Protein backbone atom coordinates (compact mmCIF):
# COMPACT_ATOMS: atom_id res chain seq x y z
CA UNK A 1 0.00 0.00 0.00
CA UNK A 2 1.50 3.33 -0.99
CA UNK A 3 2.13 6.44 1.08
CA UNK A 4 -0.98 8.15 -0.30
CA UNK A 5 -3.01 5.40 1.37
CA UNK A 6 -1.29 5.93 4.69
CA UNK A 7 -2.05 9.64 4.94
CA UNK A 8 -5.75 9.06 4.24
CA UNK A 9 -6.42 6.38 6.86
CA UNK A 10 -8.34 8.67 9.22
CA UNK A 11 -10.49 10.01 6.38
CA UNK A 12 -11.17 6.53 5.04
CA UNK A 13 -12.29 5.33 8.46
CA UNK A 14 -14.71 8.24 8.74
CA UNK A 15 -16.00 7.70 5.20
CA UNK A 16 -16.37 3.95 5.75
CA UNK A 17 -18.41 4.56 8.88
CA UNK A 18 -20.58 6.83 6.77
CA UNK A 19 -21.34 3.93 4.43
CA UNK A 20 -18.61 4.33 1.77
CA UNK A 21 -17.73 0.77 0.77
CA UNK A 22 -14.81 1.84 -1.44
CA UNK A 23 -13.25 3.69 1.50
CA UNK A 24 -13.67 0.57 3.62
CA UNK A 25 -11.84 -1.47 1.00
CA UNK A 26 -8.95 0.99 0.94
CA UNK A 27 -8.87 1.12 4.74
CA UNK A 28 -8.66 -2.67 5.05
CA UNK A 29 -6.06 -2.88 2.29
CA UNK A 30 -3.88 -0.34 4.08
CA UNK A 31 -3.71 -2.68 7.11
CA UNK A 32 -2.89 -5.85 5.16
CA UNK A 33 0.90 -5.81 5.68
CA UNK A 34 0.50 -4.78 9.33
CA UNK A 35 -1.69 -7.83 9.95
CA UNK A 36 0.56 -10.09 7.88
CA UNK A 37 3.60 -9.12 9.97
CA UNK A 38 1.75 -9.87 13.21
CA UNK A 39 0.30 -13.14 11.90
CA UNK A 40 3.69 -14.41 10.73
CA UNK A 41 5.19 -13.68 14.13
CA UNK A 42 2.59 -15.92 15.84
CA UNK A 43 3.13 -18.90 13.54
CA UNK A 44 5.70 -21.62 14.15
CA UNK A 45 7.30 -23.69 11.39
CA UNK A 46 4.73 -26.48 11.58
CA UNK A 47 1.85 -24.09 11.11
CA UNK A 48 3.61 -22.19 8.31
CA UNK A 49 4.03 -25.44 6.38
CA UNK A 50 0.26 -25.91 6.43
CA UNK A 51 -1.16 -22.41 6.07
CA UNK A 52 0.30 -19.08 5.02
CA UNK A 53 0.13 -15.82 6.93
CA UNK A 54 -1.49 -14.33 3.83
CA UNK A 55 -4.34 -16.85 4.08
CA UNK A 56 -5.02 -15.94 7.70
CA UNK A 57 -4.91 -12.24 6.89
CA UNK A 58 -7.23 -12.64 3.91
CA UNK A 59 -9.76 -14.39 6.12
CA UNK A 60 -9.37 -11.63 8.71
CA UNK A 61 -10.02 -8.88 6.16
CA UNK A 62 -13.06 -10.68 4.77
CA UNK A 63 -14.52 -11.05 8.25
CA UNK A 64 -13.74 -7.40 9.05
CA UNK A 65 -15.54 -6.30 5.88
CA UNK A 66 -18.51 -8.48 6.76
CA UNK A 67 -18.72 -7.29 10.38
CA UNK A 68 -17.78 -3.63 9.94
CA UNK A 69 -21.33 -2.50 10.67
CA UNK A 70 -20.76 -3.68 14.25
CA UNK A 71 -17.52 -1.71 14.69
CA UNK A 72 -18.05 1.16 17.15
CA UNK A 73 -14.55 2.64 17.55
CA UNK A 74 -13.58 6.08 16.27
CA UNK A 75 -9.80 6.26 15.90
CA UNK A 76 -7.41 4.45 13.53
CA UNK A 77 -5.66 2.92 16.57
CA UNK A 78 -8.97 1.49 17.81
CA UNK A 79 -9.63 0.14 14.34
CA UNK A 80 -6.27 -1.65 14.18
CA UNK A 81 -6.99 -3.09 17.65
CA UNK A 82 -10.31 -4.42 16.37
CA UNK A 83 -8.55 -6.00 13.39
CA UNK A 84 -6.01 -7.59 15.72
CA UNK A 85 -8.77 -9.28 17.70
CA UNK A 86 -10.20 -10.81 14.52
CA UNK A 87 -6.70 -11.90 13.53
CA UNK A 88 -6.11 -13.48 16.94
CA UNK A 89 -9.25 -15.61 16.58
CA UNK A 90 -8.16 -16.75 13.14
CA UNK A 91 -4.65 -17.62 14.32
CA UNK A 92 -6.16 -19.69 17.11
CA UNK A 93 -8.43 -21.53 14.67
CA UNK A 94 -5.47 -22.20 12.37
CA UNK A 95 -3.49 -23.68 15.25
CA UNK A 96 -6.42 -25.89 16.26
CA UNK A 97 -7.03 -27.08 12.70
CA UNK A 98 -3.47 -27.54 11.44
CA UNK A 99 -1.18 -28.19 14.42
CA UNK A 100 -3.31 -30.40 16.65
CA UNK A 101 -1.96 -33.95 16.83
CA UNK A 102 -3.06 -37.24 18.33
CA UNK A 103 -0.64 -36.70 21.22
CA UNK A 104 -1.06 -34.04 23.84
CA UNK A 105 0.60 -30.89 22.50
CA UNK A 106 1.19 -27.65 24.38
CA UNK A 107 -0.17 -25.78 21.36
CA UNK A 108 -3.53 -27.45 21.99
CA UNK A 109 -3.64 -25.75 25.37
CA UNK A 110 -3.15 -22.24 24.04
CA UNK A 111 -6.04 -20.06 25.13
CA UNK A 112 -7.35 -17.04 23.32
CA UNK A 113 -5.78 -14.85 26.00
CA UNK A 114 -2.39 -16.53 25.42
CA UNK A 115 -2.48 -15.69 21.72
CA UNK A 116 -3.79 -12.21 22.43
CA UNK A 117 -0.95 -11.59 24.87
CA UNK A 118 1.66 -12.70 22.36
CA UNK A 119 0.08 -10.67 19.57
CA UNK A 120 -0.17 -7.54 21.72
CA UNK A 121 3.52 -7.88 22.59
CA UNK A 122 4.36 -8.29 18.89
CA UNK A 123 2.33 -5.17 18.07
CA UNK A 124 4.13 -3.20 20.79
CA UNK A 125 7.52 -4.32 19.50
CA UNK A 126 6.55 -3.35 15.97
CA UNK A 127 5.64 0.10 17.28
CA UNK A 128 9.00 0.36 19.03
CA UNK A 129 10.70 0.03 15.65
CA UNK A 130 9.21 3.36 14.56
CA UNK A 131 11.52 5.38 16.80
CA UNK A 132 14.59 3.66 15.37
CA UNK A 133 13.69 4.58 11.79
CA UNK A 134 14.20 8.36 12.18
CA UNK A 135 10.47 8.99 11.83
CA UNK A 136 9.20 12.16 13.48
CA UNK A 137 6.01 11.29 15.33
CA UNK A 138 4.12 14.21 16.85
CA UNK A 139 0.62 12.80 17.26
CA UNK A 140 -1.24 9.55 17.88
CA UNK A 141 -2.52 9.62 14.29
CA UNK A 142 0.97 10.12 12.85
CA UNK A 143 2.25 7.27 14.99
CA UNK A 144 -0.43 4.98 13.61
CA UNK A 145 0.31 6.06 10.05
CA UNK A 146 4.02 5.45 10.64
CA UNK A 147 3.20 1.98 11.96
CA UNK A 148 1.28 1.12 8.79
CA UNK A 149 4.05 2.59 6.64
CA UNK A 150 6.71 0.59 8.51
CA UNK A 151 4.71 -2.60 7.99
CA UNK A 152 4.62 -1.87 4.26
CA UNK A 153 8.39 -1.34 4.26
CA UNK A 154 8.96 -4.66 6.05
CA UNK A 155 6.75 -6.41 3.49
CA UNK A 156 8.89 -5.02 0.65
CA UNK A 157 12.13 -6.39 2.12
CA UNK A 158 13.74 -9.48 0.55
CA UNK A 159 12.34 -12.59 2.26
CA UNK A 160 15.53 -13.31 4.23
CA UNK A 161 15.76 -9.72 5.51
CA UNK A 162 12.07 -9.71 6.41
CA UNK A 163 12.32 -12.94 8.41
CA UNK A 164 15.31 -11.71 10.42
CA UNK A 165 13.53 -8.43 11.23
CA UNK A 166 10.44 -10.29 12.41
CA UNK A 167 12.39 -12.82 14.45
CA UNK A 168 14.62 -10.18 16.02
CA UNK A 169 12.27 -7.24 16.55
CA UNK A 170 8.75 -8.69 16.55
CA UNK A 171 9.43 -12.03 18.26
CA UNK A 172 12.32 -10.59 20.31
CA UNK A 173 14.65 -13.55 19.73
CA UNK A 174 18.42 -13.38 20.40
CA UNK A 175 20.75 -13.62 17.41
CA UNK A 176 21.96 -17.05 18.52
CA UNK A 177 18.45 -18.53 18.37
CA UNK A 178 17.74 -16.83 15.04
CA UNK A 179 20.96 -18.34 13.65
CA UNK A 180 19.87 -21.81 14.79
CA UNK A 181 16.45 -21.41 13.21
CA UNK A 182 17.91 -20.25 9.91
CA UNK A 183 20.87 -22.68 9.95
CA UNK A 184 23.33 -19.81 9.75
CA UNK A 185 26.11 -18.45 11.92
CA UNK A 186 25.36 -15.64 14.34
CA UNK A 187 27.74 -13.45 12.36
CA UNK A 188 25.83 -14.08 9.13
CA UNK A 189 22.52 -13.29 10.83
CA UNK A 190 23.89 -10.04 12.25
CA UNK A 191 25.04 -9.02 8.78
CA UNK A 192 21.59 -9.74 7.32
CA UNK A 193 20.01 -7.80 10.18
CA UNK A 194 22.26 -4.77 9.63
CA UNK A 195 21.41 -4.72 5.92
CA UNK A 196 17.70 -5.09 6.66
CA UNK A 197 17.77 -2.22 9.16
CA UNK A 198 19.56 -0.04 6.62
CA UNK A 199 16.90 -0.84 4.03
CA UNK A 200 14.18 0.17 6.47
CA UNK A 201 15.96 3.41 7.29
CA UNK A 202 16.33 4.23 3.60
CA UNK A 203 12.62 3.57 3.15
CA UNK A 204 11.81 5.82 6.12
CA UNK A 205 13.94 8.69 4.77
CA UNK A 206 12.40 8.30 1.31
CA UNK A 207 8.87 8.37 2.71
CA UNK A 208 9.60 11.39 4.90
CA UNK A 209 10.81 13.28 1.86
CA UNK A 210 7.53 12.82 0.00
pLDDT in tens, the chain (210 residues): 444 444 588 999 999 999 999 999 999 999 999 999 999 988 877 788 888 899 999 999 999 999 999 999 999 989 999 999 999 999 888 888 876 653 445 444 566 788 888 898 999 898 888 766 654 555 666 778 888 999 999 999 999 999 999 999 999 999 999 999 999 999 999 999 999 999 998 886 665 555
Pair 122, 151: CB distance under 8 Å: no
Domain spans, the chain: 3-158
Separation of alpha carbons 25 and 114, rounded Å: 30
pLDDT for residue 6: 42
Strands, E, within 12-161: which ranges?
Answer: none
* pLDDT score, position 115: 84
Report the distance separating Cα 105 and Cα 50, nearest Å. Answer: 17
Amino acid sequence: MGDSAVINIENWLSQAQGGDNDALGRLLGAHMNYLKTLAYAQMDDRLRRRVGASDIVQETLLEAHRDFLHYVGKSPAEFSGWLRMILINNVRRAIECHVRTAKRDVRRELSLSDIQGRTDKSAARLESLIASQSTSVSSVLQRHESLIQLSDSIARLPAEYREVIILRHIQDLPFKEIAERLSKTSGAVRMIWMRAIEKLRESSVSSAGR
